[in-house]
Structure 1
Amino acid sequence: MIEVVFGGAVGPEDAVLIEGDAPAPAAAAVARFVVPDHPLHGVGCACCAPRGPASEALARLFLARARGEVAWFARVVVLAGDDGVALVLAALAGDAVTRARFRGVAISSD
């Protein structure tokens, strides 16, 4: 499983999941997601959005790695605000495919 960490230093062999359009640090791969302005339901609600933006972004990273389109990585560093972190945590907890590929590790205080 690929580790997912929240915040902290990004190494050159890490992948990065970024909320919005913030500049990307040097990394093996970068994927972005956007927190919806007005979600109809709570973060991670499966009734009308079975795969949220964080799940989709993590899937893009995983597939790029599997296809050899990016350098191999064993860790994803999430750079996001509180709402973005909540989306990623919801994806890790509530999306079966995301949960099978990734595991949440820690929220850094950096």
Structure 2
Amino acid sequence: MIDPVGSAYPMRALVRHKAKAKLIEGIEFQDDCPLVDEDLLRDLATTLFQSKQAQDLYTQCHSRHEADEIENRFATELVETYKQIKQQEANPLVQLLNGLL
């Protein structure tokens, strides 16, 4: 079915792509360390897309611009959550507690 002219839907793949691009901005490439934890990013995206907030926002938009704004908002939220988790992983107390598990 063809969408009416001017309608668009936010695209989940674009949200993940935008989030990943934001995460790797300004990071130096390191051979021994992946730039982005793909598994973590995928899991966070899956959780976000299943949230009530996502279900409310993932509806038909009146324009591609409106869909792009929603994608950017979700990408920013993914980046913030990802960074918080990575910062906690680097916390010595969290590392100690994980070692005890």
User: Above 0.5 in TM-score?
Assistant: no
Q: Which has the higher helix share?
A: 2
Q: Which has the higher strand share?
A: 1
Q: Which has the larger radius of gyration?
A: 2
Question: Structure 2-normalised TM-score?
Answer: 0.32
